[in-house]
Structure 1
Amino acid sequence: MSQDTSTRQLETGAPDDDAPVETPALIPRPSWRLWAAWLRRLWVAWRTGTRRWREGHPEVVRVLSGTVSVLAAVLVVAALVMPNSVAQLEPSQFLRIPAEAVIGAAVMIALPRRPRVVLAAVSGVALAAMTVLNALDMGFQQYLGRGFNVVLDWSLFGDAESYLEDSLGRTKTLVAVAGLILLVLLLFVLLALSMIRLSNLLARHTGIATRGTLVAGVVWITCSSLGLQMSGVPLASDNTATALKAQAHLISATLKDQAEFEKVARVDAFGNTPGSQLVPDLRGKDMIFTFIESYGRSAVEDPIMAPGVDRTLDARTKALAKAGFHAKSGWLTSATYGGSSWLGHSTTMSGLWISDQQRYRTVMASDHMSLTDAFKKTGAFDTVGVMPGVQKGWPEQKWYGLDKVYNAFELGYRGPKFSWSTMPDQYTLQQYQDRVHSKKPADGKSRMSLLILTSSHTPWAPIPRMVPWNQLGDGSVFDSIEKAGHPSTYTLTDDTHTKEEYGKSVQYTVTALTEWLERYGNDNTVLVFLGDHQPNAHASGNHASRDVPVSIVAKDPKLLDKIDSWGWTDGLRPAHNAPVWKMSAFRDRFLTAYGSTPHPKKG
């Protein structure tokens, strides 16, 4: 390049048109073939090194090989006999002879190599899937009192993750979820490899394998025929086959139930009742429906929790009586257990048994009348909801017939969360008073309110304490209470701690609600409050009922006279032998008791 050309380029920043163009050298890009060749060389080197090590250490190799084969057999057998209930997790459950192993060994011996390996891998993956389902059944039994439904329950994992994040924090939750996913993937890989290894072992020793399989089959048949047991557990197991049959039956029953429930939901005893004929005996009343999270029968009757809860219920009954209020209480059997509170709410309000997510979606999309919507249809009530647990869009507002809903972000709270609960119930009730109850509805209407309280939500640590009502402010007063409370892990590892703290949380919420009523209720106030479900098995035990307390409180004695025929107990604490209804019966009984006229709508 000439000096003039170089000078011109430096001055103008542009190359000279007459200057020769220099082509840059091309940088070679690695192709997939190069990567494949590199990986192939790495694999060959590893195989070569492994073969040399094996040749140099034959005894060690023999011991390791035998150990791996034994571990593979133990893993497969453990997966085959694994129960689906925590209560059955005993050593005797894993000392059984699985029929599936005997049949599987016979099939593997008879197959040629390629189909045998394919079948072994597929069987390992299927067995891993059944193991995961059994584990899910255990978790659902412990927390929701029922097994996992492969058709309906996948959507609940999002709620479980949100619960963990609220209880443990985002970082710990992400670590836990990532660890769980890796564990599940590892289980699939290990069971598939174990099945392949065992199938190859059977093929290499056909004679011994055949005789062993025949002996195992005879032993299984003998144990099954004679009903031989160890520690009350049958020695002959067909656990996996039974579980597969149960899953197939559950899937079929679920699909059938969906179709049948859609027909049931179209029938409504009060579906065509004019607004003028709905709840005429409650016109002019200040009507409040309140759900207390996890307020179940165990809180009133369990020997650890009941003493404190019963004292609170009796003391608050006396305090309300002194303020002129009277109460009657009974029992309702909830459609859910341990969680899925929305199923309890919607069952109570719809008069339908809403026991799973599909039924819930069906009802929310229908025009089946809710109890709260009945008040709206009268034209004589403004309707409002206070939902401190709602932290996102809530389309169910339309079905519930609520003119206005206050969610967690609309109540002005600036204090700490108490694990899952976004704010203490006492604060929620004061905000309800300030924003709603203290203000008269427009046009001379009455008001119907729906409150869903959250302080007694699992994990019951930390839990709030009552503070003077005039010191609630924006909730910052709870900072020191939250910091002094137990961490959420306090109740996750000890059932006694769980019961004690759960009982305290129920006492707190009942006290907050009844103090609010004592403080702000009037001659027209009618309060219906109930639990949405029992707490999980860590608090209520493995054999708890699904019953929850329900109470109606009012100053007007005529209102309680209308439910005399129900046989409920006077006061806030229902007697042990008080009537028990299904939760789905409450709507129609309540509407009938307070003067509503049935006009059935048929599907």
Structure 2
Amino acid sequence: MASAWTRRWRVAHPTAAQALSVTVTVLAAVLVVAALVMPNSMAQLHPRRFLRIPAEAVIGAAVLIALPRRPRVALAVVSGVALAAMTVLNLLDAGFNQYLGRGFNVVLDWSLFGDAESYLEDSYGRTATLVAVAGVIVLVLSVFVVLALSMVRLSNLLARHPATATRGTLVAGVAWITCSSLGLQLSGVPLAADSTANALKDQAHRISDTLKDEAEFRKVARVDAFGNTPGSQLVPDLRGKDMVFTFIESYGRSAVEDPIMGPGVDATLDARTQALAKAGFHAKSGWLTSATYGGSSWLGHSTTMSGLWISNQQRYRTVMASDHMSLTDAFKKTGAFDTVGVMPGVQKAWPEQKWYGLDKVYNAFQLGYKGPKFSWSTMPDQYTLQQFQNRVHSKQPADGKSRMSLLILTSSHTPWAPIPKMVGWDQLGDGSVFNGIEKAGHPSSYTLTDDTHTKEEYGKSVQYTVTALTEWLERYGTKDTVLVFLGDHQPNAHASGNHASRDVPISIVAKDPTVLDKIASWGWTDGLRPAHTAPVWKMSAFRDRFLTAFGSTPHPKKN
């Protein structure tokens, strides 16, 4: 019926039908070429990137011209589906490069989509998340359907005009060879392109490297310089200390050095250094290069604590299933420390507790918070710190032990809107005091598309968390308190830029001067703000350097 109506309409409106046919064909060609030359980085998404001659189009046209109808149509459909798959992978690469500083791994990264959905729901609400997920599904299906139909349409066009198509293909082939041989460019972009072939090759290498890495890393994880060290020989110089290890979400080098957020963060770090000094605390600070960027905070946490470079989910799973000693577990093995974790970002079962060697963990539902969420963050860091004080830090461990605490603070988590503000410590209560602050803050969408807003609000969130943490130390720290705090990774490219390092600040703060004397040889900067020229270590180097500095004796465990 529709076909008959279409034929009648074409007969009645031949000019319009011809114009529509040409338009659809041109759109099909544009879509196919755009898919073939699409870059896998948002930073490269520029019109000149699409004004190129794709080698794959020339070769594909030559093959399609030579085939009879049925295999030609079949090949066109398969090619369209394959091109759609590569287009989706390129889009995933672009997104992962923008937010996580690396390409999409087709072996390991599928599990991150569940985390992404949870993040969207926590940050923007259930309805917006459902709309976004539905939109993505429709978009992906549309890409497959449209590119497959486009390839069929173009193959039919080639078959109807074989002589013209052959001449055009030869001209395009000669043009590609000429541009490639002479290195001709348009505004710095080569005119001869083989983007899809290179992208396919890159994906194949990633898969191969991932499979090899899994086997090799299992061997690496079995080696541990302190794996067989008796508890009596672990951190003897910290016995009797009140140890607090704290990760600050997305606290990266950009927060300290970026021209937009750096001045405010630096002023806060300097002011808090002075305030702590008045209370008798002093600090030294340096840089660590994180194993992750923009997200996947657990990779930064586990890299710091394990002394292993845990840069992907497979490595993380391998370490969590191993007996490789964590830095926190080292304190537990001494028999002289109780170990506790306070983790407001944990909202489900957390089997990693065993590997970390934590006797007790307080998650988001065990801290008594009745106030509003601040986008993804379940509660303000000041509230978390007060609950840590009330439930843990103010209570003496049994049997005369000391305590090692692990805190993971979340107020500086993307999207950095709304962000909490400091209130009086005696006004925190059950967190209801934050209702008005949350309502008066910017909506989550405020930082979604504007990089300047993102940088400004990200900087404020870091200032807030640093202030809350150091005020807690100033208020509740003792002569035995030793605070180690650091960032888990840099913020994503909207805040840190497209060419940011992977460095994060780290500080050690104590009243006892002998603690900082132990790390005097490290060359770290005095105060909470590391100098630009302060030493930079890989994050995986910290565990062993820390254990060594505080008197631990290596007893290697090897394969």
Residue 315 of structure 1 aligns to a residue in which SS? helix
Q: What's the CA shift string for 1:95-154, capped at 9, x where partnerless?
A: 100000000000000001101000000000000111111111111111111111111111
From 528, 532, 541, the equivalent of 2:488 is 532
* TM superposition shift of 1:286: 0.4
Residue 552 of structure 1 aligns to a residue in which SS? strand
Matched, 1:475 2:424: no
% of aligned pairs identical? 87
From 401, 406, 411, the equivalent of 1:455 is 411
Alignment of 1:53-452 (within 5 A): 53-452=9-408
Instruction: Provide the rounded CA distance (Å) in 1 between the counterparts of 2:453 and 2:2.
Output: 54
Q: What's the CA shift string for 1:330-360, capped at 9, x where partnerless?
A: 0000000000000000000000000000000
| Matched residue type, 2:463 | Q
Matched, 1:521 2:477: yes
Instruction: Provide the rounded CA distance (Å) in 1 between the counterparts of 2:172 and 2:483.
Output: 66
Bigger Rg, structure 1 or 2: 1
User: Hey, what does 1:47 align to over in structure 2?
Assistant: 3
Q: What's the CA shift string for 1:539-575, capped at 9, x where partnerless?
A: 0110000000000001100111010110001110001
| Matched residue type, 1:283 | R
Instruction: Provide the rounded CA distance (Å) in 1 between the counterparts of 2:20 and 2:482.
Output: 74
Q: What's the CA shift string for 1:39-67, capped at 9, x where partnerless?
A: xxxxxx22222222222222221111111
Alignment of 1:11-50 (within 5 A): 45-50=1-6
Residue 498 of structure 2 aligns to a residue in which SS? coil
* TM superposition shift of 1:297: 0.4
Q: CA RMSD in A?
A: 0.6
Q: What's the CA shift string for 1:457-505, capped at 9, x where partnerless?
A: 0000000000000000000000000000000111111111111100000
Q: How many residues end up aligned between the 2 structures?
A: 559
User: Stretches of 4+ moved more than 6 A in 1?
Assistant: none
Residue 449 of structure 1 aligns to a residue in which SS? strand
| Matched residue type, 1:416 | P
| Matched residue type, 2:105 | N
* TM superposition shift of 1:223: 0.6
| Matched residue type, 1:561 | D
Matched, 1:560 2:494: no
Residue 408 of structure 1 aligns to a residue in which SS? coil
Instruction: Provide the rounded CA distance (Å) in 2 between the counterparts of 1:215 and 1:49.
Output: 39
| Matched residue type, 1:466 | M
Instruction: Provide the rounded CA distance (Å) in 2 between the counterparts of 1:90 and 1:493.
Output: 18
| Matched residue type, 2:391 | R
Instruction: Provide the rounded CA distance (Å) in 2 between the counterparts of 1:455 and 1:57.
Output: 63
Q: What's the CA shift string for 1:555-603, capped at 9, x where partnerless?
A: 1001110101100011100011000000000000000000100000001
Q: What's the CA shift string for 1:180-218, capped at 9, x where partnerless?
A: 100110110000000000001100100100011011100
User: Hey, what does 2:467 align to over in structure 1?
Assistant: 511
Instruction: Provide the rounded CA distance (Å) in 2 between the counterparts of 1:416 and 1:308.
Output: 26
| Matched residue type, 1:322 | K
| Matched residue type, 1:525 | T
- The gaps in structure 1 that reach 5 residues or longer are 1-44
User: Hey, what does 1:5 align to over in structure 2?
Assistant: none
Q: What's the CA shift string for 1:483-531, capped at 9, x where partnerless?
A: 0000011111111111110000000000000000000000110000000
- The gaps in structure 2 that reach 5 residues or longer are none
Residue 513 of structure 1 aligns to a residue in which SS? helix
Residue 549 of structure 1 aligns to a residue in which SS? strand
Residue 365 of structure 2 aligns to a residue in which SS? helix
Instruction: Provide the rounded CA distance (Å) in 2 between the counterparts of 1:47 and 1:506.
Output: 63
From 424, 443, 456, the equivalent of 1:487 is 443
| Matched residue type, 1:534 | Q
Residue 505 of structure 1 aligns to a residue in which SS? helix
Instruction: Provide the rounded CA distance (Å) in 2 between the counterparts of 1:52 and 1:328.
Output: 82
Q: What's the CA shift string for 1:282-336, capped at 9, x where partnerless?
A: 1111000000000000011111111111111011111111101111000000000
Give the TM-score taking structure 1 as reference length.
0.92
Instruction: Provide the rounded CA distance (Å) in 1 between the counterparts of 2:503 and 2:15.
Output: 64
Matched, 1:496 2:486: no
Residue 341 of structure 2 aligns to a residue in which SS? strand
Give the TM-score taking structure 2 as reference length.
1.00
